[in-house]
Amino acid sequence: MMSVIRDSVSASASAPDPVLASPSPDSLGRIGYGLLLDTLAECGQEEYTGALRAAGSPGGVFHFRRGLVVGAESPGAPGPEALLLRSRRISGEEWAELVREAGGA
């Protein structure tokens, strides 16, 4: 089930604030996307500092500092390999060489 929870690290905030849950257990669904969009906008307007967790599939965490997104994590997001190769910033051979140099497989 998708839910959005703010874990504040700012001095003025209290405990985590559960917002709402979507009826869809497998994805955000229409209600979940609306909730996430509204909550992201609210965090920006309030100059929120802390973490916004979206639980569910795939879920993730947005990190805010004074209302700006400064980081995001999600198992559904592409990793650096996919981003660099798709953007053609590096070739497949260059990526393989970097992995070898770093001691990877």
Based on the domain organization, do 53 and 85 belong to the same domain?
no
pLDDT of amino acid 50: 95
Based on the domain organization, do 39 and 53 belong to the same domain?
yes
Based on the domain organization, do 20 and 39 belong to the same domain?
yes
Based on the domain organization, do 87 and 55 belong to the same domain?
no
Confidence bin at 19 (pLDDT 50/70/90): very low
| 105 pLDDT more than 50 | yes
Q: How many CA atoms lie within 13 A of 97 on its CB side?
A: 5
Based on the domain organization, do 32 and 83 belong to the same domain?
no
Which residue has better confidence, 21 or 53? 53
pLDDT tens digits for range 3-17: 556 665 433 333 334
Q: Which domain holds residue 84?
A: 76-105
pLDDT tens digits for range 58-103: 889 999 999 999 998 998 888 888 888 999 989 999 999 999 999 8
Based on the domain organization, do 10 and 49 belong to the same domain?
yes
Q: pTM for this one? A: 0.56
Give ∠ CA 29-35-41 in degrees, rounded to 5. Answer: 135
Tokens 């405990």 belong to residue: 15
Based on the domain organization, do 16 and 59 belong to the same domain?
yes
53-63 burial by CB neighbour count: b if 16+ within 10 A, else e?
A: bbebeeebebb
Based on the domain organization, do 19 and 61 belong to the same domain?
yes
Cβ neighbours of residue 93 closer than 8 Å, sequence gap 6 or more? none
Based on the domain organization, do 11 and 57 belong to the same domain?
yes
Based on the domain organization, do 45 and 70 belong to the same domain?
yes
Based on the domain organization, do 57 and 87 belong to the same domain?
no
